[in-house]
Amino acid sequence: MEPMDLAPISRTALSDTIFVRLVEEILTGRLPAGEALPSERELALTLQVNRHAVREALKRLQQAGLVRISHGGKTRVLDWRQSAGLDALTGLAVAGAIPTRQIIGDVAVMRRSIAADAARLCARNASPQQRAAISAAAAAYPVADDLNALAEADLAFWIAVIDGSENIAYRLALNTLVAAYEEMGRDAIYALGLAEFADRNAHIDLAAAIAAADEDAAYRLADELLARFVTACQAGAQEGE
């Protein structure tokens, strides 16, 4: 196998830097699925770092579902489409493997699906205390045009709804999406969501449906509200073509 064309890296945050570099190589296809990585020793020599930093980076790659480490054998690249999780979203955007606009649009569609179903489950499962917290979050929703304040209020509202759904997988997915937004450019993404975030009455109506345990209305209102973000992302993608 020909040596990898990688420049030496600085000594700060070594394992993080190695991890990011290898993620980019894998997600862009420069290290294709099935390819065997150089040994820890070879990587350390190529990158001019210590083997411990390389080992830590490879462990993180395995946890991310991007490689398989075989003790006593080769570390091989996996097909990220088959093995990676949502945590790969940011890496895909940073590496340019998939256009950021497409990723944001796909995330918006998934967000709508998860949140609408979470609202339905919340209307069914939430405790009186959780319903009260959701109603309070809606009542406290700002009227101002401050985009950051609106986005933070929207996030707080949906955290309360998803917590009330009693679905831990939905909650962890929300955490991942929020982290991905931060990495991909939160302000630009929030600007796309203005039509959703600024509608205080829609949040109040949804909270009322949840408080009334009306599952069908909660699902419909949530789907209609979050569809605005999807529409804005699709329009933005068309303008960028």
Same domain, 47 and 103: no
Domain boundary among 82, 103, 136: 82
The CATH number covering residue 28 comes to: 1.10.10.10
Examine residue 162 and state whether it is found in any structural domain, yes or no. yes
Q: How far from chain centre, in Å, is Cα 225? A: 20
Same domain, 49 and 129: no
Helix segments in the chain, DSSP class H: 14-27, 40-47, 51-63, 80-83, 88-95, 100-125, 128-139, 147-165, 168-192, 194-197, 200-211, 215-240
Return left, alpha or beta for 7; rule: phi > 0 is left, psi -120 to 50 is alpha, else beta.
Answer: beta
Same domain, 97 and 147: yes
Examine residue 115 and state whether it is found in any structural domain, yes or no. yes
In what helix (H) or strand (E) does residue 75 lie, and over which residues does it extend? strand 75-77
Examine residue 100 and state whether it is found in any structural domain, yes or no. yes
* Reported confidence tier of residue 119, pLDDT bands at 50, 70, 90: very high
Examine residue 27 and state whether it is found in any structural domain, yes or no. yes
Examine residue 5 and state whether it is found in any structural domain, yes or no. no
The interaxial angle of helices 200-211 and 128-139, nearest 10 deg, is 160
Q: CA–CA separation, 123 vs 130, rounded Å?
A: 10
Average pLDDT over residues 20-42: 91
Structure tokens at 68: 């398989």
Domain boundary among 64, 82, 100: 82
The candidate with the shortest Cα–Cα distance to 66, out of 55, 75, 53, is 75
Phi, psi of 141 (to 5 degrees): -60, 130
Average pLDDT over residues 76-85: 91
Examine residue 16 and state whether it is found in any structural domain, yes or no. yes
Same domain, 65 and 149: no
Same domain, 117 and 187: yes
* Reported confidence tier of residue 12, pLDDT bands at 50, 70, 90: very low
Examine residue 1 and state whether it is found in any structural domain, yes or no. no
Same domain, 189 and 121: yes
Domain boundary among 24, 49, 82: 82
Q: What confidence score (pLDDT) does residue 11 get?
A: 47
In what helix (H) or strand (E) does residue 189 lie, and over which residues does it extend? helix 168-192
Same domain, 101 and 134: yes
Examine residue 241 and state whether it is found in any structural domain, yes or no. no
Same domain, 46 and 95: no
Cβ–Cβ under 8 Å, residues 184 and 104: yes
- Tell me if residue 29 falls in helix, strand or coil: coil
* Reported confidence tier of residue 209, pLDDT bands at 50, 70, 90: very high
Instruction: List C-alpha distances in Å: 240 to 186, 192, 233.
Output: 18, 13, 11
Same domain, 95 and 77: no
Same domain, 152 and 222: yes
Structure confidence by residue, pLDDT tens digits, 179-208: 888 877 888 888 888 899 999 999 999 999
Dmax (CA) of the chain: 65
Structural domain harbouring 132: 88-236
What is the CB neighbour count within 10 angstroms for residue 191? Answer: 14
Same domain, 220 and 145: yes
- Across 127-141, 163-177, 179-193, least confident range: 179-193
pTM, rounded to two decimals: 0.78
The CATH number covering residue 98 comes to: 1.20.120.530
What is the CB neighbour count within 10 angstroms for residue 72? Answer: 4
